[in-house]
Structure 1
Amino acid sequence: MAQYEKIKARYNAGANAPDFLFLTRSAYGGVMRFRKADGYMSTPCGAHKPIHFGTFGRRVDEWAERVRGAEFFHREFGESLDRAKEGDVVYCDPPYSHSQAILYGAQGFSQDDLFKKIEQAKARGVFVALSLDGSKKSGAQNCDYDIPTCLFERDAVVNCGRSMLKRFRMSGQTLEAEVVTDRLLLTH
Structure 2
Amino acid sequence: MASTPLKILAISGSLRKSSFNSAALKVAEELAGDGATFTFADLSTIPLYDQDLRDKQVPEAVQTLNDQILAAGAILFSTPEYNYSVSGVLKNAIDWLSRLDPQPFADKPVAVMSASMSAFGGARAQYDLRRILIYLDAHFVNKPEVMIAFAHQKFDGDGNLADQDTRAFIGKLVSALIDWARRLQR
Instruction: Using structure 2 for the length normalisation, give the TM-score.
Output: 0.34
**Whose relative contact order is higher, 1 or 2, with alpha carbons under 8 Å and at least 6 apart?**
2
Structure showing greater radius of gyration is 1
Instruction: Using structure 1 for the length normalisation, give the TM-score.
Output: 0.33
